Amino acid sequence: MQTLEAIAKRKSTRDFDPNKAVPDEIVDTIIKAGCQAPIGAGKRDSLHLTVCRSKEILDEINESTAAAMKMEKRDFFYGAPVVIFVSASEKQMAPGIEYANAACVIENMLIAATDVGVDNIYLWGGVQAAAKNADLCAKMGIPEGFKPVSAAAIGYSQSSSAPARELSVSLSANYI
């Protein structure tokens, strides 16, 4: 698949088949793509990836998120069998750059996942509750001084894949 084709075909999946595993070699390919992302000031040691296949940990994050949001428990990961958390060092060179860096890493992973036929979605909400729970961060193996900032859920949709969209300028834009 060509890059622009993968970008056009990528869509957010919210109906993963929790029983269909993503092979390790495909997860590794997706991780490698994420590691090629541009990182502000080249500070690659300011980010950490956690690959979570543990339903127990994901369930605990769901419970923590629902409690923090004062809502009924739901699956913030949409049944995905793999969630890749991007954590950032609390010591950053500029305010908010950790979110930009994580977004670049995740976008590379989402496009790579689409390229190899794996469905995906960018996650933020459930991740924020996990970041505030020190016990969960410890269970997830998040290094000391880091906090999860975003995640990518990957797996296979229970419904059919969407056809590629036509690339277009769909955001407000001007040319000067």
Integer Cα distance of 60 and 117 in angstroms? 29
Give me the DSSP letters along 3-71.
Answer: HHHHHHH--B---B-TTSPPPHHHHHHHHHHHTTS--GGG-GGGEEEEEE--HHHHHHHHHHHHHHTTS
Min mean pLDDT across 87-96, 99-108, 115-124 is at 87-96
Supply the pTM of this predicted model. Answer: 0.93
Non-local CB neighbours of 169 within 8 Å, separated by 6+ positions: none
For the stretch 34-93, pLDDT in tens is: 999 998 866 778 899 999 999 999 999 999 888 888 888 899 999 999 999 999 998 877
- Eight-class DSSP state of 81: S
**Which residues, 6+ apart, have CB-to-CB distance to 138 below 8 Å?**
none
The full set of domains in the chain, from first to last, is: 3-155 (3.40.109.10)
Q: What is the mean pLDDT of residues 19-32?
A: 97
